[in-house]
């Protein structure tokens, strides 16, 4: 498996995965992904590899198995990050792809000593558990966040884990 930065050429595959991952909602289109990737202070990454984990490394062309996007907001001297989207092909789940992307998202935020925010559907226990393992906690709820279903979303936050942020936090206490 290979982690890489996504480009607008990846937008159709991301949109294809959105339809599968978020049925009954309004999935992002390829055009939305292209617009997101073009925004300043956003970063999209993905993991590509063989859909069949038993396939030999050189046996099949790699396919985009997962994608994630983050945006930096606020002043450059004191930013925060938001995970805009993250998803893994159902056929490739439970292979460490989400962890690979989360490792990198958290690393990027920690370079800036910044917290990370996200929204996750209430009841999406596998995702909530993954985020908790990365230090996220539930801080609030957004009612009727997902449309058209009207499902609620938890707002989760991960404080920066950088040494600078921990020192700053210790001084404030």
> How do the domains of the chain map onto residue ranges?
2-172
The CATH fold of domain 2-172: Aminopeptidase (3.40.630)
- Mean predicted lDDT score pLDDT of the chain: 92
Could you read off the pLDDT of 67-93 as tens digits, one per residue? 999 999 999 889 999 999 999 999 999
The total of other beta-carbon atoms located within 10 Å of residue 5's CB is 10
Q: Which residues are catalytic?
A: 119, 131
Tens-place pLDDT, residues 103-123: 999 999 999 999 999 999 999
66 and 16 in contact (C-beta within 8 Å)?
no
Q: How far is CA 159 from CA 79, 108, 153, in A?
A: 12, 13, 19
User: ∠ CA(57), CA(60), CA(61), 5° rounding?
Assistant: 105
Range 41-49 average pLDDT: 97
């Amino acid at each position: 498996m290979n982690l890489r930065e996504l480009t607008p050429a990846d937008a159709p595959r991301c949109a294809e995965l959105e339809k599968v991952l978020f049925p009954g909602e309004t999935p992002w289109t390829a055009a939305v992904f292209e617009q997101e990737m073009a925004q300043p202070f956003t970063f999209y990454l993905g993991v590509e590899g063989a859909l069949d984990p038993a396939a030999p490394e050189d046996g099949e062309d790699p396919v985009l198995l997962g994608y994630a996007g983050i945006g930096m907001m606020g002043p450059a001297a004191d930013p925060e990050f938001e995970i805009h989207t993250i998803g893994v092909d159902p056929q490739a789940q439970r292979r460490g792809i989400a962890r690979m992307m989360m490792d990198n998202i958290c690393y990027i935020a920690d370079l800036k000593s910044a917290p990370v925010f996200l929204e996750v559907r209430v009841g999406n226990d596998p995702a909530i558990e993954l985020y908790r393992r990365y230090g996220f906690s539930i801080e609030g709820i957004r009612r009727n966040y997902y449309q058209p279903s009207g499902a609620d979303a938890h707002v989760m936050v991960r404080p920066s884990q950088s040494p600078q942020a921990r020192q700053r936090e210790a001084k404030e206490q």
